[in-house]
């Protein structure tokens, strides 16, 4: 069947997606690959459809009418959705994904390559043709425009042939295999779907399990997403697999999604109800009892399947305060010691084995955790972490909210109280100001040490601002006796001097460790007070609003606002990233897009504010594009992943300057020479140039916290003259970069003994 006819069938509702299919997951590389193959008339595989009566089919997006049959795509969704989006200029009715994955595709008439729109290299260049515009208008109009351009007339015949080849994609015949017959039950079809899709874009185990559930309960995916949206409305952001894992442990006592194979629809629906109800109760409890009242400080997400299983087994109720606090004791220790940073399913199953209805179930759970650690004692060195992504950061917040910490200004209220008004929200405060510490040559990891953080109301934080402790501590001690000590600040005035900052950190770490052990001890030995019967659960209103809202590090907070305003997908906060081979924790990243900034688009991205070179290198080795500065991340997002600018806007934008065009060509020359002269195949460098242009590639690489792999690779081969940094310092290009960028380039080259002043 011709591609154009297939798209018409979709418009008529005669071809659709089964409800159990997951959403669109292709990335831009796959889109380009498909179009390149079709343009060159290479085979792209057949389609597989299931022919079934409309009145009995669970169809995503709805099928027109309820009579006759509908062809449901079992294999080929990604290809057909891509073609529909490119040819029609809009997504089909069954679409569930990010449209920008296939919008803005352009074709270069001379190079015969497909790339996504980049203003730096495409604006005003007639050799770049908008593929969707060509498909919608037909090759004829594009050829007419071609003949009107005197610079292109000389090669009009060749270019016209290429334009017709693209337009002709609509007429390509795709073979369709059909599954039909009364014996093809929904279960049989889902098994076929799972088998044929296992070789394409990899389905997660959760996707495969959910596909089976959706076959019997078509609304399952929507119900799960609705629950996730309710939590996000309260400031807690969970993934679908997380909720599915909770349902799996509740209904089967197993962590592996494959255990859902024998679960019927009624049991799964009840499992969803129980998972949401138990999670709501736990979130309320963790917020009220531990003060962990919002997403950033909610550690140990993968402890929840154990917690919800335990609570559901007991009818959603705790019998005593001892039981309740013992469970919280285990939960806090699970995230302090990274219980689930390795093989999640294996560790969960070990814990689930001891979670039953026996009275000593909790004791055995705690003992199992203690044996894996040796002991559960918090030591001063455990607070050595730095940045807001440190594992013990939630513990610092917990201590502040539950252990009587007081504000250092105003009425000096306890920060655990309900604070009203915008100026009363909590903010992270550097006890020793960053500017002061950098002035005295302290390292970034020391400046942003966890032991240099405390939480203050917004008004107090603004009032103190960048004042040195030697100045504001005495005033706090005079006007608010006891406030400093309540924030675990050493009262030895010698430690308030900037030259003794490292000793201050050591003393405060000791104080924080003692406080943490005290809180944990209280949880483990809570008085045996009976708990009142809870009110009936109302799912829509269960989760309490946070009693105080924490504002993140101002740089991160501003960055999140900018990300939201510019339409980028929300990043994960405090994502634990582990080495894929050793499963050792690399970092708890401030922000991360583990599946790409646009789901399925490009590499995973991680941001850790002021991370040192070792962290950046480890993240790069784990497959992440890692950034340590706000500027670096913003440049990366703006350069390659911003929502598509409408064509009319792009045409009105300023054309690149001569210097910009020359630099872009210089970057292409760098790649070609590095490959031919030094034998270095800089694949990431090439893809960035193709995606965002040579100049923006340079901006991104200069903004990253450490040298790129290309820089290191060329240094090892003795060819630093071929690096971006060397070209940035060429006289004809210096105007394209600011002083900070030129300084980065000079430092990188000089550190390795390269004399950038000498030509060549």
550 versus 39: the higher-pLDDT residue is 39
**What are the φ/ψ torsions at residue 688 (nearest 5 degrees)?**
-65, -40
Q: Per mean pLDDT, which of 567-571, 610-614, 745-749 is the most reliable?
A: 745-749
Is the pLDDT reported for residue 545 higher than 50? no
Is the pLDDT reported for residue 287 higher than 90? no
Average pLDDT over residues 402-426: 65
pLDDT tens for 587-627 read: 778 888 887 776 544 678 888 876 766 677 778 777 788 88
The pLDDT value given to residue 558: 81
Is the pLDDT reported for residue 690 higher than 60? no
Is the pLDDT reported for residue 396 higher than 90? yes
The pLDDT value given to residue 567: 65
Q: Which two tokens stand for residue 434?
A: 């960053």
Q: How far is CA 326 from CA 249, 366, 371, 520, 571, in A?
A: 20, 8, 17, 9, 33
Confidence class of residue 379 from pLDDT cuts 50, 70 and 90? very high
pLDDT tens for 189-221 read: 666 666 665 544 444 566 667 777 876 787 888
At 52 the three-state DSSP class reads strand
Confidence class of residue 273 from pLDDT cuts 50, 70 and 90? very high
* Confidence (pTM): 0.64
Strand (E) or helix (H) holding 445: helix 444-447
Confidence class of residue 182 from pLDDT cuts 50, 70 and 90? low
The pLDDT value given to residue 543: 44
Is the pLDDT reported for residue 583 higher than 60? no
The pLDDT value given to residue 584: 64
Average pLDDT over residues 467-487: 93
Is the pLDDT reported for residue 246 higher than 80? yes
Closest of 561, 318, 516, 494 to residue 405, by C-alpha: 516
DSSP 8-state assignment for residue 453: E
Confidence class of residue 516 from pLDDT cuts 50, 70 and 90? very high
pLDDT tens for 215-239 read: 678 788 889 989 998 998 887 888 8
Average pLDDT over residues 44-61: 72
Confidence class of residue 416 from pLDDT cuts 50, 70 and 90? low
pLDDT tens for 319-342 read: 888 899 999 999 999 988 888 766
Calculate the average pLDDT of the chain.
Answer: 79
pLDDT tens for 124-157 read: 888 899 999 999 988 888 888 888 888 888 888 8
Cα 709 to chain centroid distance, Å, stands at 23
Q: Which two tokens stand for residue 516?
A: 């943490």
Report domain extents, the chain: 3-179, 204-318+336-349, 381-524, 554-575+586-649, 656-751
667 versus 529: the higher-pLDDT residue is 667
Is the pLDDT reported for residue 667 higher than 90? no
At 128 the three-state DSSP class reads strand
For tokens 């009220």, what's the residue? Answer: 288
Average pLDDT over residues 16-43: 81
59 versus 275: the higher-pLDDT residue is 275
Confidence class of residue 410 from pLDDT cuts 50, 70 and 90? low
Helix (H) and strand (E) counts in the chain: 33, 15
Q: From the CA atom positions of the chain, what is the Rg in Å? A: 29
The pLDDT value given to residue 499: 95
- The percentage of residues in the chain with a pLDDT greater than 90, rounded to a whole number, is 26
- 10 Å Cβ neighbour count for 165? 16
Cα 332 to chain centroid distance, Å, stands at 24
Q: Which two tokens stand for residue 396?
A: 């610092």
Strand (E) or helix (H) holding 231: helix 220-233
Q: Which of 244-253, 458-467, 570-579 has the lowest mean pLDDT?
A: 570-579
The pLDDT value given to residue 52: 78
Is the pLDDT reported for residue 377 higher than 90? yes
Average pLDDT over residues 382-408: 84
pLDDT tens for 697-717 read: 888 788 776 677 677 777 777
Is the pLDDT reported for residue 399 higher than 90? yes
Is the pLDDT reported for residue 464 higher than 70? yes
Alpha carbon distance 683, 705 (integer Å): 20
Q: Which two tokens stand for residue 464?
A: 């103190």
The pLDDT value given to residue 372: 86
Confidence class of residue 186 from pLDDT cuts 50, 70 and 90? low
58 versus 568: the higher-pLDDT residue is 568
The pLDDT value given to residue 171: 92
Alpha carbon distance 288, 231 (integer Å): 17
Is the pLDDT reported for residue 418 higher than 60? no
The pLDDT value given to residue 550: 45
Q: Strands 585-593 and 625-627, how do they pair?
A: unpaired
């Amino acid at each position: 069947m011709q591609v154009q006819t297939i798209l018409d069938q979709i418009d008529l509702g005669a071809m659709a997606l089964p409800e159990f299919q997951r959403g669109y997951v292709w990335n831009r590389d796959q889109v380009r690959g498909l179009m390149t193959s079709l343009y060159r008339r290479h085979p792209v595989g057949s389609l597989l459809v299931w022919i079934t009566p409309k009145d009995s089919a669970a169809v995503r997006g709805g099928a027109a009418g309820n009579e006759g049959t509908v062809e449901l795509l079992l294999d080929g969704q990604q290809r057909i959705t891509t073609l529909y989006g490119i040819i029609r200029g809009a997504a089909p009715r069954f679409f569930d994904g990010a449209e920008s994955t296939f919008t803005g595709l352009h074709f270069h008439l001379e190079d015969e390559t497909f790339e996504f729109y980049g203003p730096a290299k495409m604006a005003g260049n007639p050799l770049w043709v908008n593929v969707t515009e060509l498909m919608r208008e037909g090759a004829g109009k594009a050829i007419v425009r071609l003949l009107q351009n005197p610079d292109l007339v000389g090669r009009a015949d060749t270019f016209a042939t290429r334009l017709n080849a693209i337009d002709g994609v609509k007429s390509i015949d795709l073979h369709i295999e059909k599954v039909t017959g009364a014996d093809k039950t929904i279960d049989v079809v889902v098994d076929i779907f799972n088998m044929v899709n296992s070789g394409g874009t990899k389905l997660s185990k959760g996707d495969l399990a959910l596909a089976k559930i959706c076959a019997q309960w078509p609304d399952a995916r929507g119900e799960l997403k609705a629950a996730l949206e309710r939590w996000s409305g309260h400031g807690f952001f969970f993934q679908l697999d997380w909720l599915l894992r909770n349902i799996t442990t509740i209904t089967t006592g197993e962590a592996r999604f494959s255990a859902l194979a024998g679960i019927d629809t009624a049991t799964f629906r009840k499992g969803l109800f129980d998972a949401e109800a138990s999670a709501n109760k736990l979130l309320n409890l963790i917020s009220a009892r531990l003060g962990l009242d919002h997403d950033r400080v909610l550690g140990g997400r993968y402890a929840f399947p154990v917690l919800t299983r335990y609570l559901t087994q007991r009818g959603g109720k705790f019998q005593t305060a001892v039981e309740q606090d013992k469970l919280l004791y285990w939960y806090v220790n699970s995230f302090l010691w990274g219980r689930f940073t390795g093989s999640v399913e294996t560790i969960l199953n070990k814990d689930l084995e001891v979670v039953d209805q026996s009275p000593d179930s909790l004791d055995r759970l705690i003992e199992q955790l203690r044996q894996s650690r040796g002991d559960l004692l918090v030591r001063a060195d455990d607070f050595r972490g730095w940045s807001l992504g440190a594992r013990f950061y939630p513990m610092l917040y917990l201590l502040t909210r539950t252990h009587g910490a007081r504000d250092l200004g105003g009425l000096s209220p306890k920060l655990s109280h309900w604070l009203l008004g915008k100026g009363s929200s909590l903010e992270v405060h550097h006890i020793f100001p960053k500017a002061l510490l950098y002035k005295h040559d302290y390292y970034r990891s020391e400046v942003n040490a966890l032991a240099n953080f405390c939480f203050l109301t917004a008004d107090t934080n603004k009032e103190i601002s960048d004042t040195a402790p030697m100045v504001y501590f005495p005033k706090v001690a005079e006007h608010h006796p006891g406030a400093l000590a309540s924030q675990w600040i050493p009262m030895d005035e010698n430690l308030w001097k900037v030259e003794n900052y490292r000793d201050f950190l050591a003393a405060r770490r000791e104080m924080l460790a003692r406080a943490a052990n005290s809180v944990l001890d209280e949880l483990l030995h809570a008085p045996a007070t009976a708990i009142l019967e809870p009110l009936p659960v109302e799912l829509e209103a269960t989760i309490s609003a946070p009693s105080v809202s924490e504002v993140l590090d101002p740089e991160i907070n501003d960055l999140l606002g900018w990300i939201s305003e510019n339409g980028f997908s929300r990043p994960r906060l405090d994502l634990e990233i582990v080495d894929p081979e050793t499963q050792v924790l690399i970092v708890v990243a401030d922000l991360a897009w583990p599946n790409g900034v646009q789901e399925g688009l490009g590499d995973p991205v991680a941001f850790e504010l002021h991370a040192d070179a070792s962290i950046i290198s480890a993240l790069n080795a784990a497959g992440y594009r890692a950034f340590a500065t706000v500027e670096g991340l913003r440049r990366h997002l703006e350069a390659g992943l911003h929502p598509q600018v409408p064509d009319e806007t792009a045409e009105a934008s300023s054309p690149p300057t001569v210097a910009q065009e020359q630099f872009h060509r210089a970057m292409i020359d760098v790649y070609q020479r590095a490959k031919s002269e030094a034998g270095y195949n800089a694949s990431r460098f090439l893809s960035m140039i193709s995606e965002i242009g040579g100049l923006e590639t340079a901006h991104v690489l200069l903004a990253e916290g450490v040298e790129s792999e290309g820089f290191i690779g060329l240094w090892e081969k003795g060819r630093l003259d071929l690096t971006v940094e060397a070209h940035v310092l060429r006289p004809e290009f210096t105007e394209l970069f600011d002083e900070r960028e030129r300084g980065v380039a000079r430092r990188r080259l000089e550190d390795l003994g390269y004399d950038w002043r000498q030509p060549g």
